[in-house]
Amino acid sequence: MFLYRERDQRLSKLRIATFNVNGIRSRLPHLLQWLAQEQPDIVCLQELKAVDGSFPIGVIRDAGYGALWQGQPSWNGVAILAKGMDPLESRRGLPGDAADMQSRYLEAAAHGVIVGCLYLPNGNPQPGPKFEYKLAWFERFIKHAATLYKSGHPVVLAGDYNVIPTDLDVYNPRSWLKDALMQPESRECYARLLAQGWTDAIRELHPDERIYTFWDYFRQHWPRNAGLRIDHLLLSADLAPRLKAAGVDSWVRDLPKASDHAPTWVELGMVAGKKKAAAKRVSTAAKKRPVTRKAKKP
DNA sequence: ATGTCATTGAGGCAATGA
């Protein structure tokens, strides 16, 4: 379907993004504008809110991307886009519950990595059956993530996790205390997932910075920058040393009729080891410094 | 409780989920 040279598959750097579009049909102009401007290599989309038949594959192909998608009427729906190639599907839906009909997980190989695209249940109102579903889904995801991590493959788990990991990830924790996104159970699940060894890319590179990926439509939260960090990209052990940059394309949230989420991304170098070399230089310098300090002490 | 937006089924608005 696509014409590309072999070298296009071996990119010197790889940009992987996740974007909850909140309706693929109503957000299509934004998606295309963002793809054209930022040129991500792999994209995970959530909240398509469309059946499979109305996924706009034609214009997405015209924009230079192959795609896989799993739609559903009205709600949910996930997709994976890959620049200049068709992603190779490795999984459709999470294992562990054959009766679960909600379209929330899709997994594929593209550009030398495996990408899991997820839309974790919101879980509100809490407590209640929706929160129970969220936690049950999370447990299934944790189990599957463990399998992926142990495989040793280069894996990115990208999506809308609907979890505020810590109080640094919310403009005002008190406003969200009763929300499913901030419950101790939700946070505990996320912490347990990270404890498998995954690297939360944004936090790895920006440990103390307030970074948001979502601003709801209420009470002028976007103009006031009253946001949450709930869209995450987790990197496997193989990929973590390649992490070069991570950020949020918040300009997309500022467009008229925007999604309540902004695209969130990581940039990976294709050769590991640079970071290690840098760390070595730092540790060598650090070894010298204490000697000087000690010498200055009385 | 409220705020806003996208979706649907039925219709020119109300219910639902987020």
Residues 6+ apart with CB under 8 A from A271: A242
Least confident of A112-126, A159-173, A188-202, A260-274: A260-274
> Closest CA to B18 C1' — which residue?
A122
Find the nucleotide nearest A50 (Cα to C1′): B7
Instruction: Centre a 10 Å sphere on the Cβ of residue A219 and count the other Cβ atoms it contains.
Output: 10
Residues A10/A270, Cβ–Cβ less than 8 Å: yes
Whether nucleic acid strand B comes within 7 Å of the CB of A126, the answer is no
Q: What is the structure's pLDDT at A119?
A: 98
Instruction: Centre a 10 Å sphere on the Cβ of residue A210 and count the other Cβ atoms it contains.
Output: 12
Q: On the CB side of A40, how many CA atoms lie within 13 Å of its CA?
A: 29
Chain mean position to CA A82: 15
Per-residue pLDDT tens digits for A139-167: 999 999 999 999 999 999 999 999 999 99
Whether nucleic acid strand B comes within 7 Å of the CB of A22, the answer is yes
Catalytic entry in A41, A160, A179, A260: A160
Residues 6+ apart with CB under 8 A from A272: A238, A241, A242
Residues 6+ apart with CB under 8 A from A249: A17, A34, A38, A262, A263, A264, A265
Give the integer Cα–Cα distance in Å for A25 and A141. 28
> Closest CA to B9 C1' — which residue?
A74
Question: Which H helix or E strand runs over A165?
Answer: none
Whether nucleic acid strand B comes within 7 Å of the CB of A250, the answer is no
Average pLDDT over residues A233-240: 98
Instruction: Centre a 10 Å sphere on the Cβ of residue A105 and count the other Cβ atoms it contains.
Output: 25
Find the nucleotide nearest A178 (Cα to C1′): B1
pLDDT band for A1, please (50, 70, 90 cuts): low
> Closest CA to B17 C1' — which residue?
A75
Reduce the DSSP state of residue A68 to 3 states and report it: strand
Kindly list the structural domains of chain A, giving each domain's residue range(s) and its CATH number in brackets, ordered by start.
Answer: 10-288 (3.60.10.10)
Question: Which H helix or E strand runs over A268?
Answer: strand A264-269
Whether nucleic acid strand B comes within 7 Å of the CB of A15, the answer is no
A217 a catalytic residue: no
Give the integer Cα–Cα distance in Å for A154 and A151. 9
Whether nucleic acid strand B comes within 7 Å of the CB of A13, the answer is no
CA A182 / C1′ B6 distance in Å: 24
Would strands A105-110 and A155-160 be described as parallel, antiparallel, or unpaired? unpaired
Question: Which H helix or E strand runs over A186?
Answer: helix A184-194
Reduce the DSSP state of residue A39 to 3 states and report it: coil
CA A94 / C1′ B12 distance in Å: 41
Q: What is the structure's pLDDT at A3?
A: 53
Protein-contacted bases of chain B (C-beta within 7 A): 2-9, 17-18
What's the one-letter identity of residue A67?
A
Reduce the DSSP state of residue A9 to 3 states and report it: helix
Per-residue pLDDT tens digits for A14-29: 999 999 999 999 999 9
CA A49 / C1′ B9 distance in Å: 16
Q: Please give the model's pTM, rounded to 2 decimal places.
A: 0.89
Whether nucleic acid strand B comes within 7 Å of the CB of A226, the answer is no
CA A73 / C1′ B9 distance in Å: 13
Reduce the DSSP state of residue A255 to 3 states and report it: coil
A160 a catalytic residue: yes
Give the integer Cα–Cα distance in Å for A48 and A74. 8
pLDDT band for A270, please (50, 70, 90 cuts): confident
Would strands A42-46 and A13-20 be described as parallel, antiparallel, or unpaired? parallel
Give the integer Cα–Cα distance in Å for A70 and A203. 29
